[in-house]
Amino acid sequence: MPTSFFGWIVFLVQQYHNSYLQGLVTTLTTSLSGTLLGCCVGFVVGMIQSIDYQKDRGALQNLLLAVPKAVCRVYVTVFRGTPMIVQAMVIYYGIAQMFGVNIPAFQAAILIITLNSGAYMAETVRGGIRSIDPGQVEGAQALGMRYMTMMAHVILPQTFRIIAPQIGNTFVANIKDTSVLNVISVTELFYTTNVVAGTYFRMFEAYTITAAIYLTLTLVFNFLLRLLENGLAGSSSYEVLSPESLAQPNER
């Protein structure tokens, strides 16, 4: 048996590298799937929340709009105001106890991350939509665009460009937050570490390995996010045309 700190780290990596790799794959799979699905939920909820009440719609239409807006507001408030570990316990154990529905741990993990990410992304999407120049909305309406057409072709493409870095930040946060899913026995990285640490009772060495893995993941993905932000920012990714240049005919 090893007698030094680094000797134990090398020993544990050699003995349990497959277990660490399996936990890493589960962590990345659940965090990526949950982030992508959460973005879809966030876009829908954010769009609903960004719809304003209008007098020309009539009382009935505004009432029908108020119901989904209220549901979305409650959803965002609840999932932004409670820890993910509590959400995991309620969804995985609470639903099974109340309704007799047994959700597999892996699917439950993706559902939990989806709902949690969707609540945060909803506010991000709503803020992104609100940041679009109102003149573009007025111009689209002047062209006779319907609301969904305007959102699909004018608002959402610009919103996505604005919030793309935040989507990446959410993914990085979810990589770390998946560690709380060990409470529902998801064999992600932290759950695997608990098993490894308990085998030889080398807690410090086992958790040091896991900390190094998490740190490496966050550094790599944060670096990629910086590259994405640099690619989306400034005129290096597109050509900015002035009104004068638009008024002049193209020279061939």
What single string gives the DSSP state of each residue in 184-197? GT--SHHHHHHHHH
User: 200 in a domain, yes or no?
Assistant: yes
Q: Which residues contact 20 (CB under 8 A, 6 or more apart)?
A: 13, 189, 192, 193, 196, 209, 210, 213
User: 194 in a domain, yes or no?
Assistant: yes
What's the average model confidence in pLDDT over 143-158? Answer: 84
* pLDDT tens column, 102-118: 889 999 999 999 999 99
* pLDDT tens column, 2-25: 889 999 999 999 999 999 999 999
Q: 94 is in which domain, residue-wise?
A: 5-247
- What is the tally of structural domains in the chain? 1
Among 73-82, 137-146, 225-234, which range has the highest average pLDDT? 73-82
> What local confidence, expressed as pLDDT, does residue 242 receive?
47
Q: Which residues contact 214 (CB under 8 A, 6 or more apart)?
A: 175, 176, 179, 189
User: 252 in a domain, yes or no?
Assistant: no
> What local confidence, expressed as pLDDT, does residue 56 receive?
66
Tokens representing 225 are: 């996010």
> What local confidence, expressed as pLDDT, does residue 55 receive?
65
> What local confidence, expressed as pLDDT, does residue 122 receive?
95
User: 35 in a domain, yes or no?
Assistant: yes
Whichever domain contains 23, its CATH number is 1.10.3720.10
Answer whether residue 34 shows pLDDT above 90: yes
User: 238 in a domain, yes or no?
Assistant: yes
User: 113 in a domain, yes or no?
Assistant: yes
Answer whether residue 53 shows pLDDT above 80: no
By the 8 A CB rule, do 110 and 33 touch?
yes
In DSSP notation, 10-52 reads HHHHHHHHHHHHHHHHHHHHHHHHHHHHHHHHHHHHHHHHHPP
The Cα–Cα gap between 111 and 24 comes to 19
Answer whether residue 245 shows pLDDT above 70: no
What b/e sequence results for 191-214 when a residue is b if at least 16 CB atoms lie within 10 Å of its CB, and e otherwise?
A: bbbeebbeebebeebbebbbeebb
What's the average model confidence in pLDDT over 122-127? Answer: 92
Indicate the pTM of the whole model: 0.84
